[in-house]
Amino acid sequence: MVLALFFVNKKCQNDLFFDIKTGESILKYGIDFKDHFSFIPNLTYLYHHYLYDLGIYFLFKAFSYPGIFVFFLILFTLFGIIIFLINNSNSHNKFLSFILTVITLLIMSGYFTNRVQSITYILFLLEVYFLNKLYDTGGKKYSVFIILISILIANLHMPMWILTIVFALPYLAEYLIYKVKIFNEIISPRIIIKKCANEKVFLITLGLLLLCGLITPLRFYPYTFFLKAIGNNDFQFISEMTYTMFIKHFYTLFLFALAVLVLGLFKTKYKLRDLLFLLGLFLLSTLANRNIAYVYLFYPIILLKIVAENINFKKLIIDISISEKVKNILMGLTSVAIVSLVVVYIVCFIKLDIKHFDYNINKDYPVETVKYIKENLDYKNIKLFNEFNFGSYLEFNDIPVFIDSRAEVYIKKFNGGKDIVNDFLGTEEYQKYKYIFQRYDFDYALIYQNKNLYTYLIRDEDYEEIYHEDLFVLFKCLK
């Protein structure tokens, strides 16, 4: 919990606002696959994390922002405990497991935000752990856990559900290659190909895993969404969806290099499933920046597992006899360290002022401008051009938007034919902005002052600035 307080992101992700509002919308309209937040009519929305949206709505309604922060604080603590337990189970070395867990949490802290992904990281961790247990022991309870996790992900975070199947493929490959004995002669003797402990349960589990995507109210979208999204260039304007430039990710390159050392240069033996999992994660990470998180999450765990299977860490621990006096001193120092950490935690928690915690929304979103709009304009019936990053905050305040961070709602391939994303991007070009503004017939525009569009509108006789708040500027159309 001490680490969680320091590592958990204290800035609000813009998804939080539309998640809360979507939960409210589901209670009102149900899952009708229609967008209710844009002034542009007949847009399609898939409600791809509807269960999470409902949960976060009820949490916000009961406890506001402090409740959401404490929820993710608890989740991050659970996340760290699970990583530690898995590492310790693989290595039987608490000290090394703790150090590696802290490093993993530090690196993952940038990805562990107040978004549904934070829950799916935990579920994927557990799924892979249970897949290992199922293959090695054949325990039926692990099969039940795997199926439940897959169903949860399909309903909590539908676009990522396909990974529950992808993460099972290395285990299926090891099973099939073991069955086809001829491959054993051409595969390196350093690669271990184990027999599945219970073939029947394993194959039934994988079969059921394929069907879990049907146990949702989302029709066949768990199966089709990934195929539509992969390689779709319309997502490239979102930084986390851009193709990965590994040169910008030093720790990723370090992990790849470490994997090559462990697998190639040292005379280690390793299971085929672990090799395939590492290779699969590398390929997954090339598709989008956000997939780097899975490299950060699983590479340390798998590499430690491989090293531990070749080195007995217990034998490396030397039992040194020390006097009772020295033992007492060490015990005293340990007690002081624990008390100090607790004091630091309490001080930080008090300083954070959890009762009034609000994710610093006033600094990142047009809070005052929204108040002005709601007090002075017919805000529920205006056509407002807005920026991608704060569209969800406008929705949260019942103001219809042009675009928000639910990217697929505004992509032609998903929404039924309206190319809103490219129109939004086109407003940064002088030759296009006027045509786009006329086509959508905007009444107002709320934009960043440091964008090209600001320089166009400030010189445009058809628009006038009516409100200014830090980086946010509100323009009115005079026609």
Bridge partner residues of 468 (DSSP):
473
CA torsion sign for 450, 456, 460, 462 is negative
Predicted confidence (pLDDT) per residue in 117-163, tens digit: 999 999 999 999 999 999 999 999 999 999 999 999 999 999 999 99
Predicted confidence (pLDDT) per residue in 338-385, tens digit: 555 555 555 555 556 677 788 888 888 999 999 999 999 999 999 999
Bridge partner residues of 191 (DSSP):
270
Burial class, 44, CB count within 10 angstroms (exposed 0-12 / middle 13-18 / buried 19+): middle
DSSP 2: H
Whether the per-residue pLDDT at 239 is higher than 60: the answer is: no
Give the Cα separation of 145 and 462 in Å (integer). 61
DSSP 195: P
pLDDT at residue 348 in the model = 56
pLDDT at residue 252 in the model = 86
pTM above 0.75, yes or no: yes
Residue 421: CB partners within 8 Å, gap ≥ 6? 234, 237, 403, 407, 410, 411, 412
Are 15 and 388 contacting, i.e. CB atoms less than 8 angstroms apart? no
Whether the per-residue pLDDT at 222 is higher than 70: the answer is: yes
CB atoms within 10 A of CB 134: 26
* Nearest one of 449, 474, 447, 468 to 387, comparing CA atoms: 447
pLDDT at residue 231 in the model = 57
Give the Cα separation of 309 and 93 in Å (integer). 12
Give the Cα separation of 151 and 157 in Å (integer). 10
Average pLDDT over residues 246-265: 83
Residue 334: CB partners within 8 Å, gap ≥ 6? none
Burial class, 338, CB count within 10 angstroms (exposed 0-12 / middle 13-18 / buried 19+): exposed
Average pLDDT over residues 169-198: 84
Predicted confidence (pLDDT) per residue in 260-313, tens digit: 888 887 778 899 999 999 999 999 888 878 889 999 999 999 999 999 888 866
* Residue scoring higher pLDDT (225 or 49): 49
Query: What would the 3-class secondary structure string for 321-354 be?
Result: CCCHHHHHHHHHHHHHHHHHHHHHHHHHHHHHCH
